[in-house]
Each structure stands twice: as structure tokens, then as C-alpha cells.
Amino acid sequence: MERKGPVLMGKYELGRLLGQGTFAKVHRARNLETGMSVAIKIVDKERVLKVGMMDQIKREISIMRLVRHPNVVELYEVMATKTKIYIVMEYAKGGELFNKVVKGKLKEDAARRYFQQLISAVDFCHSRGVCHRDLKPENLLLDEHGNLKVTDFGLSALAETKHEDGLLHTTCGTPAYVAPEVINRRGYDGCKTDIWFCGVILYVLLAGYLPFQDSNLMEMYRKIGKGEFKFPNWFAPEVRRLLLKILDPNPSTRISIEKIKEHPWFRKGLDCKPEIVDTEVKELAIVPQTRTPCSNLNAFDIISLSAGFDLSGLFEGKEQKKEVRFTSNKTASTIISKLEDISKRLKMKIKKKDEGLLKIEGSKEGRKGTLEIDAEIFEITPFFHLVEVKKSNGDTLEYQKVMKQDIRPALSDIVWAWQGEPPLQQPLPPPPTTENQESQQFHAAST
């Protein structure tokens, strides 16, 4: 760090200001324990509450925790006082991709490499039900090795925020990058608008300027609405064909991410020289989601299971829930086997239902009938599961006694963390980064 600054929460030494918005500032900082550089977004809690933006902050934090991917800026931790919320994340020496673009167009191979990483990150976000909605070079940062990372999830949307028509209706994004369907204000598919953003970014990387630009905003919107743009003469035929499919003003016929990844221009460099990343995280990014037992979960459910990222204490009083939940880094079959063993030991019957639901039944009548416990397993990733356990019949006191004295202790070897409690096991490994890697700055523009 350039100079010694104030120490935050007894853990981080604050450095220079990186960015400032209406409700937040972003500083570079140094972890006093590890010496690692980080970026800390400091949110003014009082001002955010006054304008009713606390849900947006909660959503932003939750999404950052949910979309852990090599090409997405990583969230380290969240801390809070009565007046401030501190969001600690990666910091990168490389700065914004925008700084490269303003110097002129990139070589085709370099542009393609950034585009491949962008598509990988966006595809992963979509697989987790997250639409970014504000993709642009200013929100794409570079680490010291030149790898791209997506940041600024302040305008992102989760799948459950859609209206009854299944579409999003909030007009957001940067004018020159925004998709035609957003301008039309008739509702839009957030994933398809993200694909449009990616197309504009690819054009900018290769051309050095925007495809849609005009001093008159309405004229620019007219061009966007009609998909009216021209290619520079140095654009190769293959990339022209790809961009025409991405910058299709009709979202229903716009190319999908799956098809982009199959396109010959996109595939160059991938087939013969695969990207070297951690195997487990790579698999999470590309394995098709063939099973969807966790469709009723959202980012807030998942994030609340880790004590380090339980946001309820930051924003609201804890809600008393009837069910209990835990996370496990064991396979579904291991979890089922454990539950079967426990049931056998307790002389209870266990029945397997559809979509990861198990029903455990007592052998004797209790005060309020036979005790029945439902255990439902949700797949977050193939190697990380959420299990919800709740009483479906019988006496509540009997259920609580069995849970406390028998079931919970017996589950200890497969439980990573119970909801709202410290992890029983070591945390899952973070997404791959090089040793002592310093990552992305984080923008406060949206908040």
C-alpha cells in the first residue's frame, strides 16, 4: 500500500479511494493478517434505508456470493456496524477492460479471449438464475494476469424477481449497450438482454468504438431498435456472421449462449488450447442442469446457510422457521445413505419420494399421532447440497427431542453448516486463482 491509513474493523487497513457513488465508496485496502490487497465497498446504511434501496444491496451481496466463478469478481466477506455495511471483495491491478479499449481496437485473438471468458461467466450466472443487466467494458475488470472478471451486480436480477408474465420490466442498463426490448418497455428476458450486451462488447473490442452511437439519444435508440449498424472493413466474415446473430433486435430469434459457444469463430483457441482452471469449478460452469430439485430456492436461502454470509443480522430480525436446514459437501447418495442409517438405528421407516424427498416415519403412535419427518435434498452443485428437515406430522416436542438428541449428532460427519451456525467442517475451496492473486476493483456507480 502507498501509505498507512485507518484500520477498519480491526482487520483492514484502508488505502486510496477507487470509486464513489451516491450511497457507497470503494477503497483499496490491505488485510492486516494476510497482507492481501482487497477492495472494500463501504455502503452508507442510513442513506440506503432512507431511499428504500436495502433490498437492492441485499440482492447484490447475495448474487455475488451465489455466482462464484473464475471470471466473476469474488466476494470475501460482509461486515456491518449500525451505520455502515462493508463488502470485501477481490482487487485487481489490471483495472478496467475499458482502459484498454479507449486506446483503440484490440487484436482479434485478444478480443476473442476476453469474449470467451465473458460468455463463460455470463453462462454461469444464467445457470444460477442471475441476469447481470449492465454488462459493459467498465464493468469488466482484469487481474494481473490479464484474465477478465465481471463485476458490479448492482442492477442484477434473480429469476424470482420476474413478473407473472415471466419477464422483467425494470428499465436499466447503459443507453449505448441496452437491448431493443428494454427500450420498448414491454417486458424482456434478462438472459437474452445479457447476450445483446455481450454482442455490443465484442463489437467494441474489435472496432474500438460503439456499434450504436448518435448525439441524439432518440436517434440512437431508433438504430438500436432496428439493429442498424455497420461493420468496419477489418471485421472477418466469421465474426460478422456471429455478431449479426447476437445483435438481432428480435429477442425470440437472437442466438443463445449455447449456440455462441458452438460457433466456429468462438471455438478458435479453445479446442486446441483449453483454458487451465480448477477442474471442479470448470465442471460447475459447464455441466448441464438436467435436474432442478432446487427450483424453489433463491440466493437468499443459499447464502443464509453460511454463518459468514448470514445477512439477516445486517438487515432484519431473525425469522423463526419451523424447518431446519443444513448444507453438505457430500454427494446426494451419501446423504441418503446416512439418513437411512439413522432411521434404521432409531427403528423408523424411510420412504423415498420423487425429486430428492425422503419421508421418515416413527414406528409408534405419539401424543399427536405418528411422528413423520420430511427430509428434502436440493442440488446446488453436484458436490454441494442443501437439505431441509421438517416435521410433517406428530408432536412438535417429540420432533424437537429426536432432532436434538439423535438426528443432529448423527449427521455431524456429513454436515458442513447448519443454517445460521458456524461451519462444522472446513469451507469449500474458493474458485481457482493464482497464488497471492490481486483481483478486481468494484464500482459504486449503481449504488
Phi/psi of residue 352, nearest 5 degrees: -95, 125
- Contact (Cβ atoms closer than 8 angstroms) between residue 355 and residue 293: yes
Question: Which of 76, 71, 80 has its CA nearest to residue 89?
Answer: 76
Which positions ≥6 away from 396 have C-beta within 8 Å?
Answer: none
Calculate the alpha carbon distances from 206 to 81, 104, 212, 233 in Å: 45, 9, 14, 11
Active site residue 189: no
Secondary structure in 3-state letters for 184-200: HCCCECHHHHHHHHHHH
Question: Which of 54, 3, 1, 2 has its CA nearest to residue 24?
Answer: 54
Cα 400–Cα 403–Cα 405 angle in degrees, nearest 5: 100
Catalytic one among 44, 55, 123, 134? 134
Phi/psi of residue 332, nearest 5 degrees: -60, -40
Residue 50 marked in a binding site? yes
- Largest pairwise CA distance in the chain: 82
- Contact (Cβ atoms closer than 8 angstroms) between residue 67 and residue 125: yes
Binding residues for ATP: 50
Looking at the annotation, which residues are catalytic? 134
